[in-house]
Amino acid sequence: MTYRVGVDAGGTFTDLLVVDEAGNRLVHKVSSTPEEPALALVNGLLESAALLGLPAEAFIGQLELIVHGTTVATNALLTRSGAAVGLLCTEGFRDVLAMRDGTREEPYNNRLPVPVPLVPRHLRLGVPGRIDYTGHELTALDIDAARRAIEELDDAGVEAVAVCLLHSHVRDDHERAVATLIGELMPDAYVSVSSAINPQVGYFDRLSTAVLNAYVAPIVTRYMTSLRTRLRDIGFDGVLLLMQSNGGVASPEQFAQRAALSLLSGPASGPTAGLAAIRPLGREDCITIDMGGTSFDAAIVRGGVPLVMNEGWIDRWRLALPMLDIHTVGAGGGSIASVASGLLRVGPRSAGADPGPACYGRGGTWATVTDADLVLGYLDPARFLGGRLGLDRDAAAEAIGRTVAEPLGLGVVEAGAGIYDLVNVSMAEGVRAVTVNRGLDPRDFPLVVAGGAGPVHAAAIAAEIGIPLLVIPRESSVFCAGGMLLADFKHDFVRSKKVCLQEVDPAVICTLWREMRAEGVATLAAEGVGPGETVVVPSLDLHYRGQWSELTVDLEGSVVDSFDVAEAERRFHALHDLLFGYSTEDMPIDIVNARLSVRGTHAGVTSSPAVAGGVDRPLEVTSRLAWSSQARRMVPHAIYDGDTLGVGHELDGPAIIELATTTIVVPEGFSAIVDEQLSFVVHRSDVASDAIAALRGAMQPA
């Protein structure tokens, strides 16, 4: 027997999904260890072995693959605990990092402070030498000055050096010369070269990306070293892969070269898992939401493909690398509720894993969302995490009473309901950010729900937005860990080329795509992926002449060898009309960048057999009081043991379904049915759905 494991290290819990070669699955969660993140992963593996009834040595010896998503880089950035970084830039441009791109993040906020640069000014050094925008060398690189600058950074004790010179996306020999010199004079330093990481137009974008990469890379590298050492110590000799922000996996070697791609490592697998969950309903579109202990992530899948953005902001710093279009809100089970100036606030501060919510009994004193869920009757204090972590309802009530109820003049239950309602509204806004803000109607998309806390709040979020259909996978609490086992290898490449689309020589663009394809195939080959398992997706960044920003238009893989200009033009007009409500067919269109995504496919995990079985199995149904958002009071809810609900089972709200690692709230006006993947399909009772009718028809007892 062999095993594969997906591991998602979050701020509160580290989630593991263990799958054997027969498709049987084990869900397990352990407390994260922020001081030594690798320890939680190893603890989870050893505890999983015990749950499988295997000696640790036997389980680890049969473990062939670990796919891991980590928040190490994200936490280093958010807490400003990254590496000491030096910057070598073109002489006269040392302050671009502080000046940024010249735009205002909040146009009407005159008091928004500028973030402190990740590289202090005395470590930002200019080097004489100049390339112009055409690639012509105006001034030769001053090697002696570069040497002196590197020695100055070495004396300052920097761990990493970012190199970003003007127009290096057109001609990179100056940057390569500086990088070679750093390797000679500072052999132990990490070198982040902008033209190697992100060879595209836009100086601040390349600069910020190179600095971000340098800032987190030493932290990620140390974590990788620690993780490999710990895994080797317990006998693991299988394959270790890391989740990237673009939704694909990569080897540790490739991961280290672009460490900034780990900044959204954890939630990046959510859309892949969401697509697998929604396909039994005959759908290729969905919204995925993931509510964990610290944050809430929302993303969208259209036409079977997760939406990708080629640039974004991470903690107010520009990251110009492809990443899944994920919107994150500071709302999770550990989000702290407080009252300021008579107003209730929830998040973004979180109680984290230690001490955690007050009900954990670990010394937490602040009221959190989990405390509210407990006093509202949604959670059974004896069944949380399968009974491994008993919850203290009295401690939760005391914390809510002291910090929220008393300041607002409310009872504890009413205050808890206020916390519940407010966090749901915040998360609903996160869903609107990935739909309405992109010209899409969220009511057209099923909601796929993940995270340990997500199913408690999902139906309320859906009701807030008007979404009639939700899918809650049985393994929703380790949703992203499961998605990691489904993810393919993926690498993205870019070449800047400013030219009019209607006037371009197609052969010029095809040449760029073929160069990137060759680079991608070589990268995948180093990871063990053969040419027959490679898929390429070319695209172009386009805009109407004079526009500030561009849209990325995906094209068919066949255009790499034969570019159809008219098809690219048609797709751009259609996308522009979808997003902005108009298109201008007689306006010239400019190409800004040519892109290519190279994916290496592999066999994903198989599904588990339907072990919780059929509609003829007797149910154990109890009852307890829980909050009704509709009645605005505590009302009886039917309580179901989720392990006894099999394929075809149906139930009506108000009800609560309890599983070992999550709880599903089905409110009044909603019903639930178990599909063939053992997922819980929750839907509004008054909305007719072809998908629900098809499910009922397919799952009638023989």
Domain-located, residue 519: yes
pTM of the model: 0.84
Q: Cα(662)–Cα(369) distance, rounded to whole angstroms?
A: 15
Domain-located, residue 241: yes
On the 0-12 / 13-18 / 19+ scale of CB atoms within 10 A, 616 is exposed
Domain boundary among 180, 201, 216: 216
Confidence of residue 73 (pLDDT cuts 50, 70, 90): confident
Q: Cα(593)–Cα(442) distance, rounded to whole angstroms?
A: 31
498-525 pLDDT tens trace = 999 999 999 999 999 999 999 999 999 9
Which residues, listed in sequence order, are joined to residue 89 by a DSSP beta bridge? 126, 164
Q: Write out the two tokens for 418.
A: 């206020």
C-alpha closest to that of 91 among 119, 127, 124, 139:
127
Domain-located, residue 319: no
Contact criterion met (CB below 8 Å) for 605 and 23 = yes
DSSP character at residue 404: I
| Alpha helix ranges (H) inside 409-453 | 412-434
Taking all residues of the chain, what is their mean pLDDT, rounded to a whole number?
90
Q: What pLDDT is stored for residue 699 in this prediction?
A: 58
Q: What pLDDT is stored for residue 647 in this prediction?
A: 87
Same domain, 536 and 648: no
Q: Give the CATH number for residue 231.
A: 3.30.420.40
Same domain, 684 and 655: yes
Domain-located, residue 154: yes
Tell me: pLDDT of 615 over 70: no
Tell me: pLDDT of 601 over 90: no
Q: Cα(427)–Cα(440) distance, rounded to whole angstroms?
A: 17
Same domain, 91 and 189: yes
Q: What pLDDT is stored for residue 613 in this prediction?
A: 45
- Least reliable range by pLDDT among 107-121, 188-202, 265-279, 587-601: 265-279
Range of the domain at 257: 3-77+222-262
Same domain, 207 and 229: no
- Least reliable range by pLDDT among 50-64, 411-425, 442-456, 603-617: 603-617
C-alpha closest to that of 159 among 130, 119, 196:
119
Q: 191-197: long-range contacts at Cβ-Cβ below 8 A with a sequence spacing of 24 or more? A: 191/160, 191/161, 191/163, 192/160, 192/161, 192/162, 192/163, 192/217, 193/163, 194/162, 194/163, 194/164, 194/165, 194/168, 194/169, 195/168, 195/169, 196/172, 196/257, 197/257, 197/258, 197/260, 197/321
Same domain, 572 and 534: yes
Same domain, 34 and 121: no
Same domain, 596 and 625: no
Q: Cα(575)–Cα(498) distance, rounded to whole angstroms?
A: 20
Same domain, 86 and 48: no
Contact criterion met (CB below 8 Å) for 628 and 670 = no
Tell me: pLDDT of 702 over 60: no
DSSP character at residue 276: H
Q: What is the mean pLDDT of residues 227-244?
A: 93
The number of folded domains in the chain is: 4
Q: What pLDDT is stored for residue 611 in this prediction?
A: 43
Q: Cα(606)–Cα(537) distance, rounded to whole angstroms?
A: 26
Domain-located, residue 133: yes
What b/e string do you get for 571-593 counting C-beta neighbours within 10 Å, with b at 16 or more? bbbebbeeeeeebeeeeebbbbb
Same domain, 504 and 580: yes
Contact criterion met (CB below 8 Å) for 359 and 347 = no
- Neighbour count for residue 690 (Cβ, 10 Å): 9
Same domain, 242 and 149: no
Q: What is the mean pLDDT of residues 672-680?
A: 90
Q: What pLDDT is stored for residue 683 in this prediction?
A: 93
Q: Give the CATH number for residue 514.
A: 3.30.1490
- Any idea which residue has 């209607």 for tokens? 502
Domain-located, residue 306: no
Which residues, listed in sequence order, are joined to residue 597 by a DSSP beta bridge? 492, 537
Strand 343-350 to 249-250 pairing? unpaired
Same domain, 691 and 627: yes
For the chain, what percent of residues have pLDDT higher than 70?
95
Same domain, 86 and 210: yes
Q: At a CB cut-off of 8 Å and minimum separation 6, what does 174 contact?
A: 129, 131, 141, 165, 168
Domain-located, residue 35: yes
Q: What is the mean pLDDT of residues 428-455?
A: 90
Q: Write out the two tokens for 298.
A: 């929302």
523-547 pLDDT tens trace = 999 888 887 789 999 999 999 999 9
Q: What is the mean pLDDT of residues 462-475?
A: 93
Q: What is the DSSP string of 622-643?
A: EEEEEEETTTTEEEEEEEEEGG
Q: What is the mean pLDDT of residues 458-462?
A: 96
Q: Give the CATH number for residue 101.
A: 3.40.50
Confidence of residue 438 (pLDDT cuts 50, 70, 90): confident
Q: At a CB cut-off of 8 Å and minimum separation 6, what does 325 contact?
A: 299, 300, 306, 307, 308, 309, 434
Q: What pLDDT is stored for residue 513 in this prediction?
A: 96
> Is the pLDDT higher at 24 or at 212?
212
Q: Cα(108)–Cα(112) distance, rounded to whole angstroms?
A: 9
Q: What pLDDT is stored for residue 467 in this prediction?
A: 94
Instruction: Please give the radius of gyration of the chain, using alpha carbons only, rounded to the nearest integer.
Output: 26
Q: What pLDDT is stored for residue 196 in this prediction?
A: 94
- Any idea which residue has 């500071």 for tokens? 330
Q: What pLDDT is stored for residue 548 in this prediction?
A: 86
C-alpha closest to that of 590 among 563, 572, 564, 578:
572
Q: What pLDDT is stored for residue 612 in this prediction?
A: 42
Q: What is the mean pLDDT of residues 61-76?
A: 89
Domain-located, residue 130: yes
DSSP SS3 for 484: helix
Tell me: pLDDT of 371 over 80: yes
